[in-house]
Protein backbone atom coordinates (compact mmCIF):
# COMPACT_ATOMS: atom_id res chain seq x y z
CA UNK A 1 0.00 0.00 0.00
CA UNK A 2 1.80 3.09 -1.26
CA UNK A 3 0.80 6.17 0.70
CA UNK A 4 0.95 9.23 -1.45
CA UNK A 5 3.36 11.87 -0.24
CA UNK A 6 1.71 15.20 0.44
CA UNK A 7 3.42 18.16 -1.20
CA UNK A 8 2.69 21.81 -1.87
CA UNK A 9 1.36 21.73 -5.44
CA UNK A 10 1.18 25.52 -5.66
CA UNK A 11 4.86 25.84 -4.65
CA UNK A 12 5.81 23.29 -7.34
CA UNK A 13 3.82 25.21 -9.97
CA UNK A 14 5.51 28.46 -8.93
CA UNK A 15 9.00 26.92 -9.22
CA UNK A 16 8.13 25.58 -12.67
CA UNK A 17 6.80 29.01 -13.73
CA UNK A 18 10.03 30.71 -12.59
CA UNK A 19 12.10 28.26 -14.65
CA UNK A 20 9.78 28.51 -17.66
CA UNK A 21 9.98 32.32 -17.57
CA UNK A 22 13.78 32.15 -18.03
CA UNK A 23 13.58 29.33 -20.59
CA UNK A 24 10.98 31.28 -22.58
CA UNK A 25 12.90 34.56 -22.43
CA UNK A 26 16.15 32.87 -23.61
CA UNK A 27 14.26 30.73 -26.17
CA UNK A 28 15.60 27.57 -24.59
CA UNK A 29 13.48 24.60 -25.68
CA UNK A 30 12.00 22.55 -22.85
CA UNK A 31 9.58 19.69 -22.15
CA UNK A 32 8.37 19.33 -18.55
CA UNK A 33 5.93 16.48 -17.92
CA UNK A 34 3.91 15.97 -14.74
CA UNK A 35 3.00 12.37 -13.95
CA UNK A 36 -0.55 12.06 -12.69
CA UNK A 37 -2.55 8.82 -12.29
CA UNK A 38 -0.91 6.83 -15.10
CA UNK A 39 2.62 5.84 -14.09
CA UNK A 40 5.24 6.69 -16.71
CA UNK A 41 7.62 3.90 -15.65
CA UNK A 42 7.51 2.11 -19.03
CA UNK A 43 8.21 5.31 -20.92
CA UNK A 44 11.18 6.45 -18.85
CA UNK A 45 13.43 3.56 -19.88
CA UNK A 46 15.18 5.98 -22.24
CA UNK A 47 15.76 8.57 -19.53
CA UNK A 48 18.24 9.31 -16.78
CA UNK A 49 17.09 8.90 -13.17
CA UNK A 50 17.64 12.09 -11.18
CA UNK A 51 15.27 11.99 -8.21
CA UNK A 52 16.17 15.59 -7.37
CA UNK A 53 14.17 18.36 -5.69
CA UNK A 54 12.57 20.83 -8.11
CA UNK A 55 14.45 24.11 -8.33
CA UNK A 56 14.23 26.65 -11.13
CA UNK A 57 18.04 26.64 -11.36
CA UNK A 58 18.24 22.88 -11.88
CA UNK A 59 15.52 22.91 -14.55
CA UNK A 60 17.20 25.79 -16.41
CA UNK A 61 20.54 23.96 -16.22
CA UNK A 62 19.08 20.68 -17.48
CA UNK A 63 17.66 22.33 -20.60
CA UNK A 64 20.74 24.44 -21.31
CA UNK A 65 21.85 23.53 -24.87
CA UNK A 66 24.96 21.44 -24.96
CA UNK A 67 24.42 19.67 -21.64
CA UNK A 68 24.08 15.89 -21.69
CA UNK A 69 20.45 15.97 -20.53
CA UNK A 70 19.04 18.92 -22.52
CA UNK A 71 17.32 16.80 -25.19
CA UNK A 72 14.07 15.10 -24.29
CA UNK A 73 11.76 15.74 -21.37
CA UNK A 74 11.99 15.89 -17.61
CA UNK A 75 9.36 13.97 -15.67
CA UNK A 76 8.07 15.46 -12.45
CA UNK A 77 6.54 13.18 -9.86
CA UNK A 78 5.07 15.05 -6.90
CA UNK A 79 7.70 17.58 -5.88
CA UNK A 80 10.70 15.79 -7.44
CA UNK A 81 12.37 15.85 -10.85
CA UNK A 82 12.30 12.09 -11.31
CA UNK A 83 13.90 11.72 -14.76
CA UNK A 84 15.60 13.82 -17.42
CA UNK A 85 16.33 13.23 -21.09
CA UNK A 86 13.24 11.08 -21.64
CA UNK A 87 12.05 10.65 -25.22
CA UNK A 88 8.39 10.22 -26.16
CA UNK A 89 6.83 8.78 -29.28
CA UNK A 90 5.50 11.81 -31.18
CA UNK A 91 1.87 12.12 -32.20
CA UNK A 92 0.96 11.09 -35.72
CA UNK A 93 -2.04 13.45 -35.79
CA UNK A 94 -2.17 16.13 -38.45
CA UNK A 95 -2.42 19.63 -37.01
CA UNK A 96 -3.12 22.97 -38.60
CA UNK A 97 -0.05 25.10 -38.04
CA UNK A 98 3.54 24.09 -37.59
CA UNK A 99 4.48 21.95 -34.63
CA UNK A 100 8.06 20.86 -34.13
CA UNK A 101 9.27 17.58 -32.65
CA UNK A 102 9.10 18.89 -29.08
CA UNK A 103 5.42 19.85 -29.40
CA UNK A 104 4.58 16.61 -31.24
CA UNK A 105 6.27 14.61 -28.46
CA UNK A 106 4.26 16.48 -25.80
CA UNK A 107 1.01 15.76 -27.63
CA UNK A 108 2.11 12.14 -28.13
CA UNK A 109 2.61 11.46 -24.40
CA UNK A 110 -0.69 13.20 -23.63
CA UNK A 111 -2.50 10.83 -26.02
CA UNK A 112 -1.46 7.72 -24.09
CA UNK A 113 -1.37 9.00 -20.48
CA UNK A 114 -3.15 11.52 -18.27
CA UNK A 115 0.08 13.48 -17.89
CA UNK A 116 0.37 17.25 -18.33
CA UNK A 117 3.34 18.60 -20.31
CA UNK A 118 4.65 22.15 -20.47
CA UNK A 119 6.47 22.98 -23.71
CA UNK A 120 8.77 25.93 -24.33
CA UNK A 121 9.48 26.57 -28.00
CA UNK A 122 13.11 27.24 -28.81
CA UNK A 123 12.08 29.08 -31.97
CA UNK A 124 9.57 31.51 -30.47
CA UNK A 125 9.84 31.16 -26.69
CA UNK A 126 6.08 30.54 -26.61
CA UNK A 127 4.72 28.36 -23.81
CA UNK A 128 2.16 25.59 -24.39
CA UNK A 129 0.49 22.91 -22.30
CA UNK A 130 -0.34 19.51 -23.79
CA UNK A 131 -3.08 17.34 -22.25
CA UNK A 132 -5.57 14.79 -23.55
CA UNK A 133 -4.09 14.73 -27.05
CA UNK A 134 -4.25 18.47 -27.62
CA UNK A 135 -2.04 21.48 -27.04
CA UNK A 136 -2.78 25.11 -26.22
CA UNK A 137 -0.67 28.22 -25.81
CA UNK A 138 -0.49 29.72 -22.32
CA UNK A 139 0.60 33.18 -21.28
CA UNK A 140 3.40 33.17 -18.71
CA UNK A 141 1.25 35.29 -16.38
CA UNK A 142 -1.35 32.49 -16.28
CA UNK A 143 0.99 29.49 -16.18
CA UNK A 144 1.00 28.86 -12.41
CA UNK A 145 -2.82 28.93 -12.28
CA UNK A 146 -3.22 26.81 -15.44
CA UNK A 147 -0.80 24.19 -14.09
CA UNK A 148 -2.54 24.09 -10.71
CA UNK A 149 -5.87 23.54 -12.47
CA UNK A 150 -4.51 20.72 -14.65
CA UNK A 151 -2.83 19.01 -11.70
CA UNK A 152 -5.93 18.99 -9.46
Q: What is the pLDDT of residues 58-90, one digit of tens each?
A: 999 999 998 889 999 999 999 999 999 999 999
Total Cβ atoms within 10 A of residue 49: 10
Mean pLDDT of the chain: 91
* Beta pairing, strands 134-138 & 116-120: unpaired
Cβ-Cβ contacts under 8 Å for 149 (sequence gap 6 or more): none
| Residue 1 reports pLDDT greater than 50 | no
Q: Which residues pair with 135 in a beta bridge?
A: 130
Mean predicted confidence (pLDDT) in 110-134 = 96
Cβ-Cβ contacts under 8 Å for 138 (sequence gap 6 or more): 127, 128, 129, 146
Mean predicted confidence (pLDDT) in 27-42 = 93
- Report field, pTM of the whole predicted structure over 0.95: no
Burial class of 84 by CB neighbour count within 10 A (0 to 12, 13 to 18, 19+): buried
Q: What percent of the chain has pLDDT over 90?
A: 79
Amino acid sequence: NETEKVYDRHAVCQKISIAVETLSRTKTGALITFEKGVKLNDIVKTGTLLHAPITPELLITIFYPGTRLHDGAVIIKGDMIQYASVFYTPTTKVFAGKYGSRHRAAIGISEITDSVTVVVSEETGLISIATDGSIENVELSGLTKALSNYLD
